[in-house]
Amino acid sequence: APVIGVLALQGDVREHLAALAAVGAQARPVRRPAELDAVDGLVIPGGESTTISKLVDIFELREPIDKRIAAGMPVYGSCAGLIMLAAEVLDGRPDQRGFDGIAMTVRRNAFGRQVDSFEAPVEISGIDGGPLHAVFIRAPWVERVGPDVEVLGTITEGPAAGRIVAVRQNNLLATSFHPELTHDRRLHHYFTHLVHTTA
């Protein structure tokens, strides 16, 4: 089984570890460069991207993670993790920095104050069995993507209809929502399969 790390500096680390274990991955928390060396893929959880960004520097993980990404390691970011994988962040803090990740521009807390949290069905291209029940919590959306980025899912109804909430660029996968907070394991299965076929 592929060994998949969860960046364990802040955020909903335990939920991702449980979801990965449920689909047969060997799931481990990653806090140190030596732990990163031992994984085939990495999940960046939801939480607060500004906090995760600071802790990535404090724990001296920025350069090692950028190097692994450049070498082709699969990474999946959910919510704050999507922000950490974005080349450009709108409404971010001036000092927050992501990894050398996906050629996309994302907007933090994009869905607005009135709708801090909501749930919506989102069809994900490449995942069969009907739409995922997506949970959004102070979520970002993706405003622009580069030519190499595949849009996997968008909001289909309501004022945010058409907004991009799931993308993939080669081995990098990101969603605005939190599949780890539901019992549907199809997205973790999809990522584990990606790690398995890459490793």
Residue appearing with tokens 């849009």: 151
Assess whether 180 carries a catalytic annotation.
yes
Tokens of 168: 């993939």
Q: Is 138 in the site for ligand GLN (CB under 6 A)?
A: yes
With H, G, I as helix, E, B as strand and everything else as coil, classify residue 36. Answer: helix
Active-site entry in 60, 88, 150, 180: 180
* Distance between CA atoms of residues 182 and 30, nearest Å: 23
* 26, 109, 156, 182: which one binds ligand GLN (CB under 6 A): 109
With H, G, I as helix, E, B as strand and everything else as coil, classify residue 53. Answer: helix
Q: How many residues bind ligand GLN (CB under 6 A)?
A: 11
Residue with Cβ nearer ligand GLN (31 or 54): 54
Residue with Cβ nearer ligand GLN (2 or 82): 82
Q: Look up residue 196 and give its amino acid.
A: H
Q: Is 46 in the site for ligand GLN (CB under 6 A)?
A: yes
Tokens of 22: 């449920």
Active-site entry in 16, 178, 188, 189: 178
* Distance between CA atoms of residues 44 and 118, nearest Å: 21
108 a known binding residue? yes
- Residues lying near ligand GLN in the complex (CB under 6 A): 46-49, 79-80, 83, 108-109, 137-138
Residues serving a catalytic function are 79, 178, 180
